[in-house]
């Protein structure tokens, strides 16, 4: 989920989590507890600031790594801001499903940001490593917007492809805002190979109802 501050990213994340199976173990990682998942098996991890001596801090990067040791079926990162995005991508690339939120002006900007933030992890991290990693583990970007009246709604849904060409990840805008309404774009292709056949069929039914 992407969007500006108070655009409804966390609220949408809470709603989407209701589709997670009741037997799945979900680990959430947040700087401040905001998620309220309607699930039975949820373990929430929260960052901790350092004390007056400058010790005892528990950053988000460490929590992401600790979460992987807790046998999660899904990993949810409340908000990706800095180098912890690298650890999240590595976890998702290992086959662990997950969701996260990120501040961005559009769905495409969110993809660009997710490709840039891991570079903060160190000089040994290169775009030649990050781009194919993002392409292989990121499926969809749902962009949330807040209108002038304070209403919050989905403004874009972007599909992320698995190909990288000319230092750019292939993407397809599935839904975009037209006259204030979310509509299917002319370039939309709903054959999403990174989804299982079961999930592809479910996604197609949802699109037809929309």
As a whole number, mean pLDDT of residues 30-54 equals 88
80 secondary structure, DSSP code: -
Query: Is the Cβ–Cβ distance between 101 and 76 less than 8 Å?
Result: no
CB atoms within 10 A of CB 116: 12
- What domain range includes position 92? 2-209
Instruction: To the nearest 10°, report the CA torsion of 201, 12, 26, 96.
Output: 50
The tally of domains found in the chain comes to 1
Share of the chain above pLDDT 90, in %: 46
Q: For residue 66, give both structure tokens.
A: 């600790």
Q: pTM, whole model, 2 decimals?
A: 0.86
β-strand pairing of 168-178 with 152-165: antiparallel
CATH of the domain at 174: 3.40.50.300
pLDDT by residue (tens digit) across 96-125?
Answer: 999 999 999 999 999 999 999 999 888 888
């Amino acid at each position: 989920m992407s969007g500006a501050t108070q655009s409804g990213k966390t609220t949408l994340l809470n709603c989407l989590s209701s589709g997670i199976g009741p037997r799945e173990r979900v680990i959430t990682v947040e700087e401040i507890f905001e998620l309220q998942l309607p699930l039975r098996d949820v373990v929430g991890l929260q960052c901790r600031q350092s004390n007056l001596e400058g010790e005892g801090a528990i950053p988000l990067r460490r929590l992401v790594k600790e979460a992987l040791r807790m046998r999660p079926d899904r990993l949810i990162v409340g908000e990706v801001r800095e180098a912890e995005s690298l650890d999240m991508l590595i976890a998702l690339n290992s086959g662990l499903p997950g969701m996260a939120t990120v501040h961005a002006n559009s769905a495409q900007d969110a993809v660009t940001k997710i490709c840039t933030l891991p570079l903060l992890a160190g000089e040994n991290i290169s775009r030649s490593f990050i781009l194919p990693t993002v392409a292989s583990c990121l499926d969809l970007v749902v962009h949330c917007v807040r209108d002038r009246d304070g209403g919050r709604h989905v403004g874009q849904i972007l599909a992320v492809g698995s190909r990288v060409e000319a230092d750019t990840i292939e993407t397809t805008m599935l839904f975009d805002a037209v006259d204030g309404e979310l509509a299917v774009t002319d370039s939309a292709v709903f054959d999403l190979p990174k989804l299982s056949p079961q999930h592809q069929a479910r996604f197609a039914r949802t699109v037809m109802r929309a």
